[in-house]
Structure 1
């Protein structure tokens, strides 16, 4: 009887943790895909990239990646890494808005066709 209780407890804990593990794993997978894309396809160096962070969002698609370049710390570029990797949009930090950064001043913005 005690073994059954332990097995049920372990199963219960696994069921509770599985969504957390799923989200964290996907955030890491998408961040690695975008990082590889930036280094291999877009030919950025590691020194040019400040941050590549996977994010789980409320909107669709649920996973995306935020990239910040060292020479533009006030701009967050949003990438999708599902079937293909593409820069989707950008966001200015409050400091970037204060500094008057506009789309025409962005160094890493890739306009969509």
Structure 2
């Protein structure tokens, strides 16, 4: 009888340790998924893009910003737009500068970022 109790408690402890070890990974995957769904809703509902106009959406984990969201549009497949979720809203990162220190404005650059 004692060996059954030891096996049962070992399984429970092992399962608890495994769940604790996997929880940060599961949380980060869920956060990325939630950000990707959120930016899609933002672009289609607030910015009035059609889903067909959006080529790809990919959220990642990085140092700064912690969760950048990269968006590509079908009419500019070589251009990647960076969005950040901050203070309960999505913000497009400002465009880059050319060699003459002028803003590189693209077709889908948000006017609020300028």
* Alignment TM class, shorter chain as reference: 0.7 to 0.9
Alignment partners' CA distance in 1, 2:24 and 2:38: 21
CA distance in 1, matches of 2:44, 2:73: 12
When normalised by structure 1's length, the TM-score is: 0.81
**Aligned partner (choices 73, 78, 81) of residue 77 of structure 1:** 81
Gaps of 5+ in 2: 1-5, 97-102
Show structure 1 runs of 5+ residues with no match. Answer: 92-101
Any conservation in 2 of the 1:79–1:89 contact (CA below 8 Å)? no
- Shift in Å at residue 53 of structure 1? 1.3
Q: Give deviations 1:34-82, integer Å, cap 9, x for gaps.
A: 10000001000011000011111122x3112110001111111111123
**What is the aligned partner in structure 1 of residue 104 from structure 2?**
103
Bigger radius of gyration among the two: 2
Alpha-carbon RMSD across the aligned residues, in angstroms, is 1.7
> Would the aligned equivalents of 1:30 and 1:64 in 2 still touch at CA under 8 Å?
no
**Aligned counterpart in structure 1 of residue 57 of structure 2, from 49, 52, 55:** 52
Which of residues 41, 48, 57 in structure 2 aligns to 1:43?
A: 48
1: distance between equivalents of 2:71 and 2:94?
11
Bigger strand fraction: 1
Q: Which runs of 4+ in 1 moved over 6 A?
A: none
Alpha-carbon distance, 1:90 to partner = 5.2
Q: Work out the CA distance in 1 between the residues paired with 2:95 and 2:31.
A: 21
**Larger relative contact order (Cα-Cα within 8 Å, sequence gap ≥ 6):** 1
